Amino acid sequence: MTLEQLVYTPEEKTTSGDRPSTMVLMVNEEMLKKYKKDKSIPLAEVVDSFDVLKYEMGSSGQLNRPSKAEIKEAFGTTNEDEIVQIMLNKGSLHGRPM
């Protein structure tokens, strides 16, 4: 299984410094393509884990775990399934649209 970074930058949601946080989720690219066509595929088959990471200092910075407050601000929820679904539906692989 080859894992790829799925990148999501929330629209109109910012963190300190008025810059949106770029969130990252590790996904199986092949399963993501299947999920886009068939939402009945279990999320656990698409993602490596439900751990969302964020870039520090832009997309060339380090990946770290966001705080619960940052997660809530970015996604409007702290529910892992909802967050993963948002990222799978709105995120992009390597910054390119699916």
Domain contains 39: yes
Q: Which of 1-5, 20-24, 82-86 has the highest mean pLDDT?
A: 82-86
Q: For residue 4, which amino acid is it?
A: E
- The pLDDT assigned to 21 comes to 80
- pLDDT exceeds 90 at position 76: yes
Cα–Cα distance, 62 to 60 (Å, whole number): 7
Domain assignment present for 9:
yes
Q: What is the mean pLDDT of the chain?
A: 85
Residues 26 and 6: beta-carbon distance below 8 Å:
yes
pLDDT score at 55: 84
User: In the structure, what pLDDT confidence band is assigned to residue 68 with cuts at 50, 70 and 90?
Assistant: very high
Here the CATH number for the domain that contains residue 67 is 3.30.1250.10
Is 97 part of any domain?
no
Question: Shortest CA distance to 27 belongs to which of 55, 51, 57?
Answer: 51
